[in-house]
């Protein structure tokens, strides 16, 4: 097939954790992929460059180093069949320290991407939202039909805003907008500031791990390959014009259980450094994934232990030997 006849998808934040896995999947299936990423030094840029470098020789892959706030740069991107908007300032705790920049990037940046879709007549737009939008919600598992959202961090509020802006553009301009609420994604290439990555490295290196609270908080840990399958489902979806969909594993694991599982997979005991609970953190995340299954056939099939084993292999092979 002529390269120009292949469907062309733009992934913002595509040099990062989830985006690079999505790029792998799309390229393998014959798509053209353009990645827009500003290589933000929120975590070591070299890790993102490694993600990008593996595709540099692929004629169907284009890397654009730039920012979603740069409207002139966005105006130069053409011939798109779909946009997967993953780029954002990430993290609940950092957003409390710097709420203004989170709103600037996550809200204005999302509007800029929707403006690009409107101007270039891109009809399929997939937006990375977050389980954090549910805030402290006692109705578990969390369902998309629960519209009483009470986010408790600027990061979460920025993601709610993105969902609402998307509805406006979908209604006015005929853009199919699918917001995917990701639940605690883990796996190879995970950001080093996230708990599983940080804990595993510290255990291997004999360092203590910071544990906030008493270990009873629970998360719906979702393996990255399952998240990618959900994104692919959203890209292919041709039903209604606006949907909000949970992507989780459909099961919860406590912080204490997570640490025990990492210890088992790595074969070393953790040194625990107890810390107080952090503002903005929620006690539980729990996804009802019925809707994702109905719309996309989404079915997560990676167990938590298998995901951890895959992560350990990547960590040892790709990170520790270079540290």
Q: Which residue has the tokens 């802006």?
A: 165
- Nearest alpha carbon to residue 106 among 87, 123, 130, 124: 87
Q: How many residues does the chain have?
A: 323
102 carries an active-site annotation: no
Question: What is the spatial distance between Cα 81 and Cα 121, in angstroms, rounded to a whole number?
Answer: 9
Do 298 and 292 contact (CB within 8 A), yes or no?
Answer: yes
| Helix 17-28 / helix 224-236 crossing angle, nearest 10 deg | 60
Q: Which of 155, 221, 223, 298 is catalytic?
A: 155
Question: What is the spatial distance between Cα 27 and Cα 274, in angstroms, rounded to a whole number?
Answer: 44
**Dihedrals φ, ψ of 82, to 5°?**
-165, 155
Question: What is the spatial distance between Cα 254 and Cα 244, in angstroms, rounded to a whole number?
Answer: 26
Question: What is the spatial distance between Cα 106 and Cα 89, in angstroms, rounded to a whole number?
Answer: 6
Token representation of residue 200: 């595993």
Number of CB atoms found within 10 A of residue 203's CB: 21
Q: Where are the alpha helices (DSSP H) in the chain?
A: 17-28, 45-53, 71-75, 92-97, 99-103, 109-119, 154-173, 195-204, 224-236, 255-266, 290-296, 304-318
Task: Return the active site residues.
Answer: 155
């Amino acid at each position: 097939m002529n390269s120009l006849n292949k469907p062309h998808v733009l992934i913002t934040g595509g040099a990062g954790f989830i985006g690079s896995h999505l790029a792998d999947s799309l390229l393998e299936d014959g798509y053209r992929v353009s990645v827009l990423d500003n290589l933000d030094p929120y975590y070591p840029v070299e890790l993102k460059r490694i993600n990008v470098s593996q595709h540099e020789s692929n004629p169907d892959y284009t890397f654009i180093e730039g920012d979603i706030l740069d409207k002139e740069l966005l105006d130069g991107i053409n011939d798109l069949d779909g946009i997967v908007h993953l780029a954002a300032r990430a993290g609940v705790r950092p957003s409390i320290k710097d709420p203004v920049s989170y709103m600037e990037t996550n809200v204005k940046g999302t509007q800029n991407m929707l403006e690009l879709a409107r101007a270039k007549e891109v009809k399929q737009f997939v937006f990375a939202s977050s389980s954090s939008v549910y805030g402290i919600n006692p109705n578990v598992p969390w369902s998309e039909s629960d519209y009483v959202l009470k986010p408790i961090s600027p990061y979460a509020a920025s993601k709610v805003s993105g969902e609402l802006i998307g509805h406006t553009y979908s209604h006015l301009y005929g853009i199919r907008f699918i917001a995917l609420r990701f639940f605690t994604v883990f796996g190879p290439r995970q950001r080093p500031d996230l708990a599983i990555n940080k804990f595993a490295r510290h255990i291997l290196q004999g360092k203590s791990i910071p544990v906030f609270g008493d270990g009873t908080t629970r998360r719906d840990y979702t393996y990255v390959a399952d998240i990618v399958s959900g994104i692919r489902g959203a890209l292919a979806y041709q039903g209604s014009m606006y949907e909000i969909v949970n992507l989780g594993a459909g099961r919860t694991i406590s912080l204490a259980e997570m640490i025990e599982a990492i210890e088992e997979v790595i074969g070393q005991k953790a040194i625990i450094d107890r810390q107080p609970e952090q503002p903005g953190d929620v006690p539980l995340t729990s996804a009802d994934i019925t809707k994702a299954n109905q719309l996309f056939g989404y079915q997560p099939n990676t167990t938590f232990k298998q995901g951890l084993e895959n992560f350990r292999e990547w960590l040892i092979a790709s990170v520790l030997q270079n540290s």
